[in-house]
Amino acid sequence: MYNTVKEKLARGEKVIGGTIDTPDPKIYRAMAKAGLDFLWIEMQHSPMTYQEAANLIWAGHDLPVVPFIRVPDATEGDIQKATDIGALGIIVPMVDEPGKVENAVRFAKYPPLGVRSHGGGQYRDLWGNDYRGTANDNIMVVAQIESPTGVENVDRIAAVRGVDVVFTAANDLSSFSGHPQGSPGHEALVEKIKEATLRAGKKLGGPVDWLNREGYSFFQTLSATSMIPRGVKDLLNSLQNPPSTS
């Protein structure tokens, strides 16, 4: 087992990932050194290419952070490329029906669990010569619920074999449902996802603001480009307002 995120979740620990929406390897490495458990490479809402994503993953190959990719869709081509370049986590957006995440599992796993073909890639240089025999145990699939339709089908989605985490996309759930975050309507949808996920024995994910919510263990932070100005502001504040020594 070399997927430390999967190991930590199995031990009942919480994991936090930083979001990468830029192809700059220096930013990737800086985030990888910050103490995060995984990096969420954003390919649904960014123009990043798989070659650029591959360069990021390789840039962090000597650092103890696990690469995840949010693919644009659960297509065979997207998932094949993501796994071939070494991602150990596949985040599937807009899961409204179980069939979508069933396909993601099939394309992410080698036979007999799936239909992933034995192509080339940098995965062996990253994870070892025994990768073919170990990949199925290490690659994780995360299903994102973003709409009321996904909530309606969450019991069947969470029950799909091979799904490791069900993730509540709080902002999109608000957008698609029309219920503001924190409102009773939004909270009812969130609670339904939680109950179904935990009942299925899967891990529950959400935004890092929910770190102290009961039942959640897999969290996403803001993007790297949003975290940088926060860090600069914190530094300036500490310089301008040093702690009292009295």
pLDDT tens per residue across span 139-192: 999 999 999 999 999 999 999 999 999 999 999 999 999 999 999 999 999 999
Q: Does residue 58 register a pLDDT over 70? A: yes
pLDDT tens per residue across span 64-121: 999 999 999 999 999 999 999 999 999 999 999 999 999 999 999 999 999 999 888 9
In the chain, the amino acid numbered 107 is: F
Q: Does residue 243 sit within a domain?
A: no
DSSP H or E stretch at residue 68: strand 66-70
DSSP for residue 61: T
Task: For the beta carbon of residue 127, count every other beta carbon within 10 angstroms.
Answer: 18
3-state secondary structure of 186: helix
Band (pLDDT 50/70/90 cuts) for residue 133 is very high
* Res 246: pLDDT: 59
pLDDT tens per residue across span 5-57: 999 999 999 999 999 999 999 999 999 999 999 999 999 999 999 999 999 99
DSSP for residue 88: S
What's the rounded mean pLDDT across residues 135-141? 98
Q: Does residue 123 sit within a domain?
A: yes
Q: Does residue 87 sit within a domain?
A: yes
In the chain, the amino acid numbered 69 is: I
CA–CA dist 145, 193 (Å, integer):
8
Catalytic residue among 45, 61, 179, 186: 45
Which runs of consecutive H residues, i.e. helices, occur in 47-153? Answer: 50-59, 76-84, 98-108, 123-127, 131-138, 148-152
pLDDT tens per residue across span 187-212: 999 999 999 999 999 999 999 999 99
- Phi, psi dihedral angles at 207 (to 5 degrees): -65, 155
User: What are the tokens at 81?
Assistant: 């490329």
Q: Does residue 244 register a pLDDT over 80? A: no
Q: Does residue 201 sit within a domain?
A: no
CA–CA dist 79, 71 (Å, integer):
7
Burial of 131 (0-12, 13-18, 19+ CB in 10 A): middle
* Res 62: pLDDT: 95
Residue with tokens 């930013």, as numbered in its chain: 27
Q: Are 150 and 167 in contact, with CB atoms under 8 Å apart?
A: no
Q: Does residue 126 register a pLDDT over 80? A: yes
CB burial readout 138-152, b (16+ within 10 A) else e: bbbbbbbbbbbebbe
CATH of the domain at 107: 3.20.20.60
User: Based on the structure, what is the number of domains in the chain?
Assistant: 1
* Res 223: pLDDT: 86
Question: Is the full-model pTM beyond 0.85?
Answer: yes
Supply the range of the domain harboring residue 117: 4-143+211-228
Q: Does residue 177 sit within a domain?
A: no
Active site residue 45: yes
Q: Are 52 and 21 in contact, with CB atoms under 8 Å apart?
A: no
**Could you tell me which of 119, 123, 122 has the C-alpha nearest to residue 107?**
119
User: What are the tokens at 112?
Assistant: 């007999």
Q: Does residue 149 sit within a domain?
A: no
Q: Does residue 19 sit within a domain?
A: yes
* Res 245: pLDDT: 67
3-state secondary structure of 138: helix
Q: Does residue 155 sit within a domain?
A: no
